[in-house]
Structure formats: C-alpha cells, structure tokens
Structure 1
Amino acid sequence: MALALLLLIPFLVGGCGATTENSSEGASIGFRADDGSIAVIPAEQRVAAPVISGTTLDGAAVTLSDYSGRVVVLNVWASWCGPCRSEAPLLAQAAEDNPGVQFLGLVTRDSQASAAAFAQRYSLDYPHLLDSDGALQLEFRDLPPKAIPSTVVIDQQGRIAARVLGEVHEGTLNGILEQVKG
C-alpha cells in the first residue's frame, strides 16, 4: 500500500499535464533527463529556438525573432489552468524586476477573451501570443514545452537555454536567468 502511494505522488503534485520539481531556492538547477521537469542546457549544446510568429491578445503581429539579442522567457499558459494562476503573480513580478529580459506568453487551448481577462487580472503586462490550437507550442521539437504551464528560456543568440515543465518557482526562474544572462 505504501509503495502504491509513493508511485502516485508525482501524479498528484503535478501541474496541468506534467510533474514539476520545486526548487524554490534554485539550488538544484541543472539538466534533468530523468523526469524532464527542469532542463538547463549548457551553452555549447543549445539549439536554435523555432521561428514562431502570431498575433498577440491586442492584435499585434509578433515574431520571436523580434526579440533577437535579448533573453526571452516564453511561458505557455491557459486561463483554465490552476498552476498557471498560481505562477502568474511571480511572472508579472519577474518581468518587472528584469527589464532587460523579454517575457512572452504563449496562450494555448484558450479563447482570446478568457486569456485577455486572465492577463489583465494578473497584470501580465507583456505580449501574449494566442495559440488556440497548440500549433506554436508544437514547433518546439527539440525541447518541447509539453505541459501547461511550461516555461522556455531563450538566450541572446536565439537558442533554447532552459525548459521548466509545470509551475515555475521564483528560485528556479531567477537561477536560470542568472545562468543564461551570464
């Protein structure tokens, strides 16, 4: 019985589709091939991020390459996702605290109206691409953000530097940004 409960724990504490590691102190940041929850890629092993473009919640056209030369934090979220609501205040604060980093939301499997209300409610004052059918999310073939929420950090050279599956925590995000910004 105890073994069965231990095997169920990862499924019970996960986000909307994946397990997540809580490293709120940022101490265990590194490549994690065993569970896929956090992966930080060494600079010499990074691959180019896909060329994605779309329309923001405000109707503007945005391409990921618009932010060339900047670190980009791409957060995949949906208004109906509980862990997304939980991490939203952290992302809003992190965007404010890191003016040299471009935050970009990727709203997946959601409506424009629900997503806009969510972004306004949580003061997510950065662009959000609407990806209603999940097609943009699927462009990340080499290190896919296969959970909702997921966070992908792209370095100044446009390469995928890190991915967090599930809710991102402050220490984790800050640690990744410190490593990627150099």
Structure 2
Amino acid sequence: MSPRISPLRAAATVAALCGLLAGCAGTSASENGTGGDGNRFISGDGNITEFKPADRTDVQGVSGGLLDGEPFKLSEFQGKVVVVNFWASWCAPCRGEAPTLQHVYTEKKDEGVEFLGVNFKDSKANAEAFERKFKVTYPSLFDADGQVTLAFREVPPSAIPSTLVLDRQGRIAARIVGATTYSKLTPLVDKVSAEK
C-alpha cells in the first residue's frame, strides 16, 4: 500500500509545480524551442528565506543524471556546504546570474563549498551551449521532465531561477527565489559555512 498524501500537501506540491512551470521573467519558452506557444515565465524577486537548523529539510536523497550522462547523488556532497541553482537556457535572469554563480563557485571551492545546477525543462543541447557560453565549471543535473525538482517539494524553489544553500548535513539552510547576486549569495554561503 502506498502512503497517503494529505490533500493540503498535494495542493502545495501542485502549486509549487505550477510556480515552476510559470517560473522565469521575460522569456517565452516557445522562443527557444521548449514549451508551447504563449508560455510566459515569471521570475521571483530575489527574496531570501533562511531556515533555523530545527526547521531544515533534508534533501541529500536527491539523485539524477548529470548533463554529461553520469549518475549523481546529492549525498556525494555530504559534509560540505552546497549551493543548488535551478536554471534553464531559455531563462533570461538565469543568463544574468550565471557569471555571479561561477564567480562565487570559483571563490569558494577551495573552502570546500560545492555547487550543483539543476537544469529544468530544457533540451540537453541548449543546456550544454549555455554552460559553454558562460564557462560554467560545476556540474548540473539534467531535469528535462521536472522530476529532480519535484524532490525539493518540501521547500520548493518556486521559480526559475532559484538557489538553495544546503548545510553540511544536506539540509536546506537558505533559499533565494529569483535571480541571485554576489551580495546576496556570498553572505549566506559564509554564514552556513561558519556553522559548527
């Protein structure tokens, strides 16, 4: 017998998915070969939510295939602070924040901070072209059908782009809904890194 999902949780999950499918500002998915005609994507405003340790959701069970085809489990990063960024090649704010994310990754990787992208509702060719253009050197899960993103439903990213900062136990410590900036992301990473 499969476990029952409460109507409230089911409704929240549906709402989160609708938000993601409606996720990114100013770009029509049909302009870039994904989605149907008239799909418009509305980005978040860069709002930050921080979670106290007792209120954090564990997501280290998330797994999938990377853009290069290799299998990956988030638990491979256990013991490290991890930045998870949800992005798509068709998303204009994602293009805007890509250099910042790469910059913070380059700056923090020697401190043991890992980055992981989640490429949402995209084609592999477009996603790979995006990574080449913006010289992205950290890995990304390829989430063409949205199943990886669903695994974050307890604390949904809610828009594309969104960024999560995970603590060393694989729990969501902070969330940025919408495009991030250096001045938003770096202090969150530093704060979570400083936790004992």
Which bracket does the TM-score occupy, shorter chain normalised?
Answer: 0.7 to 0.9
Deviations 1:68-102 (A, max 9, x none): 10111000000000000000000111110001111
Q: Distance in 2 between matches of 1:75 and 1:153?
A: 9
Other-structure match for 2:175: 163
Name the TM-score, length of structure 1 as normaliser: 0.81
8 Å contact kept, 1:50–1:139: no
8 Å contact kept, 1:78–1:108: yes
Aligned length: 154
Question: Does the residue aligned with 1:59 lie in a helix, a strand or coil?
Answer: coil
Name the TM-score, length of structure 2 as normaliser: 0.75
Q: Distance in 1 between matches of 2:44 and 2:73?
A: 30
Q: Gaps (5+ residues) in structure 2? A: 1-23, 26-40
Q: Distance in 2 between matches of 1:66 and 1:40?
A: 24
Question: Does the residue aligned with 2:168 lie in a helix, a strand or coil?
Answer: coil
Other-structure match for 1:134: 146
Other-structure match for 2:121: 109
Q: Which of these residues, 124, 136, 146, is aligned with residue 136 of structure 2?
A: 124
Q: Gaps (5+ residues) in structure 1? A: 1-13, 22-36
Q: Distance in 1 between matches of 2:191 and 2:56?
A: 13
Identity %: 42
Q: Which aligned runs of 4 or more in structure 1 are off by greater than 2 angstroms?
A: 14-19
Q: Which of these residues, 49, 60, 65, is aligned with residue 55 of structure 1?
A: 65
Closer/same/farther in 2, CA of residues 17 and 132 from structure 1, 3 Å limit: same
Comparing 41-50 and 72-81, the one that deviates more: 41-50
Shift of 1:161: 0.5
Shift of 1:18: 3.4
Q: Distance in 1 between matches of 2:154 and 2:67?
A: 27
Deviations 1:132-167 (A, max 9, x none): 011111111221012000001111011110111100
Q: Distance in 2 between matches of 1:160 and 1:166?
A: 16
Other-structure match for 2:185: 173
